């Protein structure tokens, strides 16, 4: 039990309890909406584009939301768009939930990479795999402002849903839907 509850905390909890008693259908409906939809909010640092899209609702994937997300995660160097692995969108959503950061916006450093872009990066930077999962639409490099990068990485590791790379000097975490591993 928290014995350090402030008067403000006490009042907030009291108002929330009173609202739940007075308006149970509204509280239940609000809760059902959040469970019946999956959405992502992303900002592409290279294009300056922002997007908040529902990609799953009422038990089905939402084609329009997925198309918008695929476009945002395109190879910004070539403009090529690829179907992104739906498991990656689910992973990002579940990571956001695990962090308690629903509604916050992921900053996207890299999503899909065309073979041309991947070859270029392989020649000009370190640590780029010859056949990166970015080329299959199964990887993204992200950060989440307001969330410490190490906490983002540790939470992703805890989910055990694919690869997790930690790049503190470049200020991002790599996530993919390949086998569970980390570096």
pLDDT at 21: 66
Name the β-bridge partners of 61: 56
For residues 170 and 125, the answer to whether their CB atoms sit within 8 Å is no
Collapsed DSSP state (helix, strand, coil) of residue 57: strand
What is the structure's pLDDT at 13?
59
44 DSSP assignment: E
Q: What pLDDT does 140 receive?
A: 98
pLDDT for the residue numbered 87? 98
**Residue 28 burial (CB count, 10 A):** 11
* pLDDT of 122: 83
Which residues of the chain have a pLDDT value below 70? 1-35
Please name the residue that has the structure tokens 């529902």.
54
* Residues 166 and 183: beta-carbon distance below 8 Å: yes
- Residue 142 neighbours by CB distance under 10 Å: 21
Distances from the Cα of 33 to the Cαs of 30, 37, 118, in angstroms? 5, 6, 39
Pair 55, 72: CB distance under 8 Å? no
> For 27, left (φ over 0), alpha (ψ -120 to 50), or beta?
alpha
Looking at domain 39-182, its CATH class is alpha beta
Distance CA 44, CA 106 (A): 9
Res 139: pLDDT: 98
């Amino acid at each position: 039990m928290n014995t350090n509850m402030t008067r403000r905390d006490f009042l907030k909890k009291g108002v929330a309890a009173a609202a739940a008693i007075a308006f149970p259908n509204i509280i239940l409906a609000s809760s059902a909406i959040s469970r019946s939809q999956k959405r992502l909010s992303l900002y592409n640092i290279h294009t300056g584009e922002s997007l908040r899209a529902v990609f799953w609702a009422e038990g089905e994937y939402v084609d329009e939301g997925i198309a918008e997300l695929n476009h945002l995660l395109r190879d910004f160097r070539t403009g090529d768009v690829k179907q992104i692995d739906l498991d990656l969108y689910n992973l990002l959503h579940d990571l956001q939930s695990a962090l308690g950061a629903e509604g916050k916006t992921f900053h996207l450093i890299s999503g899909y990479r065309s073979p041309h872009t991947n070859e270029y990066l392989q020649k000009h930077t370190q640590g780029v795999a010859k056949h990166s999962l970015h080329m299959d639409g199964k990887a993204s490099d992200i950060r989440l402002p307001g969330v410490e990068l190490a906490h983002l990485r540790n939470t992703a590791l805890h989910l055990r849903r694919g690869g997790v790379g930690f790049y503190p000097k470049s200020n991002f975490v790599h996530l993919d839907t390949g086998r569970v591993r980390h570096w």
